[in-house]
Structure 1
Amino acid sequence: MKNVFIIGSKGIPANYGGYETFVHKLTEKKISKEIKYHVACMANDDKEFEVNGARCFNVKVTNIGNAKAILYDINSIKCVCKYIEENNIKDAILYILACRIGPFMKHYKKKLQRLGVTVYINPDGHEWMRSKWNAAIKKYWKVSEKLMVKHADLVICDSVGIQDYIKKEYREFNPKTTFIAYGSDVEEKNEKLSAEAIRWYNEKSVKKGEYYLIVGRFVPENNYETMISEFMRSNSDKDLIIITNVEKNKFYDDLVLRTAFDKDSRIKFVGTVYDEKLLKEIRDNAYAYIHGHEVGGTNPSLLEALASTRINLLLDVVFNREVGRDGAVYFTKEPGNLGKLINEVDMYDIELIDALEKKAKARILNHYSWNYIVKEYEKQFL
């Protein structure tokens, strides 16, 4: 029996979030009886329970602001080491999601080696580039990433672009890497709207099939300014529906000042949608999806869009093109580029739309389905 300990996600069952969904799917769709998963869960107690056949162990962590996640990972490693020692487990794997605890890895790697534990890490995207961090935190993230890679036995990258970056950036350590993507599923579209969807469309004054859609965190690196200002340049008679955790903060205020989107009735910030079934219906019934993420990795919201939305407009960066290939159309941040593309997309005929949808869904089915991803992980673990 191969014991695989997973730390770094907030735990399962998944409510929201990429890592949480990944761990939930990995355990839910488990095929091999030779693997036993142990999943760390952020909590206020130290209880144990079972989800999807996985042993879930709560890790108590004090709320100390930005450093809470670091403390959580450290406490999780301590729990893993204690459990392995007490149960005399041999040849285990510790899979660490995200690169938060690099400066502490040398110390814990020695103990893990003594216990016969192999350490895998998932570096996610370029966390050190995210605008929400100040200069000191960005520097910590970069140093932490470097030290995590240095002390890992294997780096599992969810994007070929990230794998190339890890190999090049940290070639001094000659890191062992592999590529296993994040997953998504293509599900049958219901032609008839649910009662919840009808209520949502009425409440938000949105018409089925008459909107472009954006779903993502409300942060500058997701290029909201480009997408909004370019949509405003376009002649589209459709709406731009933005599902995000919008906060009336400095970024929002600056966006209003720079774009005056509040004067364009087509631009509609509609808040968040945490109901996955409802969100899928909203994706299914969008005219097109616009994806402006550029900070590394395979983005879950992009996979979900390719699996659901008929036309996908993606920012032309290596990570997005790697996923979308010829199942999407691409734009740059050059002024006028996206606006012109939106005008063209508005005029697409049904044959072209059908072809794009078919290619996008084929990408998901053949390379990103959860069943495929779980098989790839199990091969690696075993």
Structure 2
Amino acid sequence: MTISIIGTVGVPAGYGGFETLAQNLVEYNSASGNGAEVCVYCSAKAFPERPDHYRTARLRYIRLDANGPQSIAYDALSLFDAVRRGDHRVLLLGVSGALALPLVRLISRTRIVTNIDGIEWKREKWKGLAKTVLRASEWAAVRFSHIVIADNQAIADYVTEAYARPCKVIPYGGDHTLDAAPDPTAVAELPENYALALCRIEPENNVAMILEAFAGLDTPLVFVGNWDKSDYGRDLKARYMGHSTITIHDPVYEPRGLRAIRDRASMYVHGHSAGGTNPSLVEMMHFGVPVLAHGCSFNRHSTEGKARYFESAAELAEQLRNLDIEDADRIGADMLEIAQRKYTWDQIGKAYFELLDHA
């Protein structure tokens, strides 16, 4: 059986949840002796050297960007190429290329399994035509895929309610973050103990809310993100850069540096309010520290209601003031137990390949 993974920049993974998923599926297939031939579609623009294989997976290259305006064409061309080659299964990650699925279904017998990611069209950053296209792509993905995957029960509930279709829930793994040895130079200039926030600097991740809450407290905060990517980020960086207890940190993608920064954190603050099971949340749960998360349904499902939740700066500040050592230890232990039970790549890989085998 030939399985093509479509919708990512490619492997080996750089920064990105779907890339990490694709890489770990390849590694699971290699280690398990599953017997499937896995092919991963990659952006030629992101891989100047373009090897033919990664582990036991074959790599195929499309000469377009995997993200941004070209993503729709990138995914669509990948789909048609997989169909032309007679691949038995396609795992489509995201809905960018889903508008091509009606034709794919018409001309081929390839079985399509789609992970629809979050409810992308509801994100604040999308307006007008972009929002319309994303909503149509979601509809096409749900309507024309043989199997639909959600990474969070709240998204599966949405799919069932909005489209009257069943939806399989398979989350992300996070235990790969423990593989790298920590790099002590990454934390040389950071406090000994701090609350950690780590995300793309976007309004829907409630960055301003978190900064406002910590600005009035004595608790040190290290906030890691791509501050210079947007006016929103640059404005917040300028406002809080000189704060005595807030460290505005540039993005860190290198695994050893990330491991060191996470190791030293005494708690994790997660502001995401859109999407589904967010990779940075399940990754941090493996570190066994208390989690304070935005109170949206996605985060509550991911943490099984056992974290602390907030929906305003005042509420977050109050949660921090009332978090004693006993509560912090209990929450941290709960996060680790959930992570080890639900968010390991061996479990995720097994679930995906069992689903693909019977698609």
TM-score (norm 2): 0.91
What are the ranges of 5 or more consecutive residues in structure 1 without an aligned counterpart? none
Larger radius of gyration: 1
8 Å Cα contact 1:186/1:307 also seen in 2: no
8 Å Cα contact 1:326/1:356 also seen in 2: no
For residues 252-274 of structure 1, give each alpha carbon's deviation from its aligned partner in whole angstroms, at most 9, with x where no partner exists.
Answer: 355479xx534532222110111
> How far, CA to CA, are the matches of 1:170 and 1:185 in structure 2?
33
Distance 1:249 1:97, change over 3 A: closer
Give 1:278's aligned amino acid.
Answer: G
8 Å Cα contact 2:241/2:248 also seen in 1: no
8 Å Cα contact 1:128/1:139 also seen in 2: yes
1:183 and 2:173 correspond: yes
Match of 1:134 among 127, 136, 145: 127
TM-score (norm 1): 0.85
Match of 1:214 among 174, 197, 207: 197
> How far, CA to CA, are the matches of 1:290 and 1:125 in structure 2?
20
Partner of 1:82: 84
For residues 326-354 of structure 1, give each alpha carbon's deviation from its aligned partner in whole angstroms, at most 9, with x where no partner exists.
Answer: 54221122x52111111122xx22x4333
Report the secondary structure of 1:29's partner residue: helix
- Matches of residues 182-331 of structure 1 in structure 2 within 5 Å? 182-185=172-175, 196-197=183-184, 199-202=185-188, 205-209=189-193, 211-233=194-216, 235-236=217-218, 238-247=219-228, 249-252=230-233, 255=236, 260-262=239-241, 264-331=243-310
Partner of 1:337: 315
Q: CA deviation at 1:158?
A: 0.7
> How far, CA to CA, are the matches of 1:156 and 1:127 in structure 2?
14
> How far, CA to CA, are the matches of 2:127 and 2:305 in structure 1?
37
Distance 1:248 1:40, change over 3 A: closer
Q: CA deviation at 1:364?
A: 0.9
For residues 90-136 of structure 1, give each alpha carbon's deviation from its aligned partner in whole angstroms, at most 9, with x where no partner exists.
Answer: xx111111111233321222112xxx211111110121122333322
Report the secondary structure of 2:107's partner residue: helix
Partner of 2:44: 43
1:107 and 2:98 correspond: no
Q: CA deviation at 1:32?
A: 4.4
Partner of 2:20: 21
1:53 and 2:32 correspond: no
Q: Which piece of structure 1 moves more, 132-141 or 162-171?
A: 132-141
> How far, CA to CA, are the matches of 2:99 and 2:76 in structure 1?
11
> How far, CA to CA, are the matches of 1:255 and 1:310 in structure 2?
26
- Matches of residues 86-165 of structure 1 in structure 2 within 5 Å? 92-112=88-108, 116-165=109-158
What are the ranges of 5 or more consecutive residues in structure 2 without an aligned counterpart? none
